[in-house]
Copies of this chain bind each other. A is one copy, B any other.
Amino acid sequence: MKKPFAITLALATLATLSGIALARQNAAPAEPIQPIAPAKVTQPALVELGKKLYFDPRLSRSGAISCNSCHNLATGGTDNLRSSIGDRWQQGPINSPTVLNARFNVAQFWDGRAPDLKAQAGGPIANPGEMASTHELAIGVLRAIPGYAPEFKAAFGDAAIDIDRVTTAIAAFEDTLVTPDSRFDLWLKGDRKALNADELAGYALFKDTGCVSCHNGPAVGGTSFQKLGVAEPFRTDNPAIGRAGVTGKESDRNVFKVPTLRNVELTYPYFHDGSVNSLEEAVRVMGRVQLGRQIGDDDARKIAAFLRTLTGRQPSIVLPALPPSVASTPAPQPF
């Protein structure tokens, strides 16, 4: 199952992740999953601005949808819906991935069409089915909110506001959204009592069954693109074609970024189509579809028990007080 390649890739990816001090000295040397380090905030003004923008619904045409609407930091960085609700209650085409630990992803979106968080951040703002604004309109709104000028000045040295700065700031905030100190991380760091027998058995199964060949690295995923439906087709009514939409290659049809399994207890429903609510069922489906293995109920239960130990310490987010609009700020258009 490409295990050596995937691990090599994961380690190569790891090596390129700057600013992350993995406590590797304490990790069991052979483990294919590494602990997550707490965020290091080196540019607090930039991160604070990014947080405000992340929570600001005025980046949407309606004035009602913010980044946090679909990537809700109260609910694991997702909205826990099969697919999200966009402007005018449009049904989104695909399940919203979690923003937590998204910094570890090899690329952003299920199809990897954005190389990084900054490139991702501009997408939903201007997507007619999501926030349904335009970059021009959104920037016009922000420029007409007097309280943002000093924030941009503090973050960038002057008060100019453009989409490059907005997405830079949002990405800088998102870069801090990591979830260290999961029970599994404590175990990796040497606390042998952090996991119980079922959870340890689940981890052994996770490795032995082959799950770890794709779900590895600090985020337990996010390091590679893989075809969904290797052993048998993944049945769905979701029309997403995956990476083929980016590369134009027929061989990339149904190839998706491997999602992180960090906080997977919180990021239901599962898969790009959000079709499965049960973590145990998701494990069984993956075994069958990706690995050609029928995972029994007890094994699925143990693997799911292990996966629930990947729930980390959620970022402590003090809700920002957003600078108010004034009479000359373009009004939202909700109806």
Contact check: which of B73, B88, B89 meets A319 at CB < 8 Å? B73
Taking CB atoms, residues of chain B closer than 8 Å to A277 are: 325, 327, 331
Output the nearest chain B residue to A69 by Cβ-Cβ distance: B64
Indicate whether A279 reaches chain B with its CB closer than 8 angstroms: yes
Number of interface residues of A (CB under 8 A): 44
Q: How far is the CA of A316 from the CA of B318 in the complex (A)?
A: 7
**Are the CB atoms of B327 and A281 closer together than 8 Å?**
yes
Indicate whether A55 reaches chain B with its CB closer than 8 angstroms: yes
Instruction: Say how far A48's CB is from chain B's closest CB, in angstroms.
Output: 13
Contact check: which of B55, B69, B73, B85 meets A334 at CB < 8 Å? B85
**Are the CB atoms of B327 and A80 closer together than 8 Å?**
no
**Are the CB atoms of B279 and A76 closer together than 8 Å?**
no
Indicate whether A265 reaches chain B with its CB closer than 8 angstroms: yes
Q: A89-B89, A266-B324, A324-B268 are in contact. Are A334 and B64 (CB under 8 A)?
A: no
Indicate whether A79 reaches chain B with its CB closer than 8 angstroms: yes
**Are the CB atoms of A320 and B85 closer together than 8 Å?**
no
Indicate whether A314 reaches chain B with its CB closer than 8 angstroms: yes
Indicate whether A294 reaches chain B with its CB closer than 8 angstroms: no
Indicate whether A240 reaches chain B with its CB closer than 8 angstroms: no
Taking CB atoms, residues of chain B closer than 8 Å to A278 are: 327
- Chain A interface helix/strand/loop/mixed: loop
Indicate whether A321 reaches chain B with its CB closer than 8 angstroms: yes
Q: How far is the CA of A73 from the CA of B332 in the complex (A)?
A: 18
Contact check: which of B79, B321, B332 meets A81 at CB < 8 Å? B332
**Are the CB atoms of B320 and A318 closer together than 8 Å?**
no
Instruction: Say how far A319's CB is from chain B's closest CB, in angstroms.
Output: 4
Flag A37-72 by CB within 8 Å of B: 1 or 0 each. 000000000000000000111000011100001001
**Are the CB atoms of B317 and A318 closer together than 8 Å?**
yes
Residues A278-295 near B (CB distance < 8 A): 278-281
Q: How far is the CA of A69 from the CA of B320 in the complex (A)?
A: 15
Taking CB atoms, residues of chain B closer than 8 Å to A85 are: 62, 64, 334
Instruction: Say how far A119's CB is from chain B's closest CB, in angstroms.
Output: 26
Indicate whether A91 reaches chain B with its CB closer than 8 angstroms: yes
Sample 9 A-B pairs with CB under 8 A, ordered by A number: A74-B319, A75-B324, A81-B334, A91-B335, A265-B324, A314-B321, A316-B318, A317-B318, A318-B319
A residues within 8 Å of B by Cβ?
Answer: 55-57, 62-64, 69, 72-76, 79-82, 85, 88-89, 91, 265-266, 268-269, 277-281, 314, 316-322, 324-325, 327, 331-332, 334-335
10 nearest A-B pairs in the assembled complex, by CB-CB distance: A278-B327, A89-B89, A317-B319, A314-B321, A266-B324, A74-B322, A55-B74, A277-B327, A74-B319, A91-B335
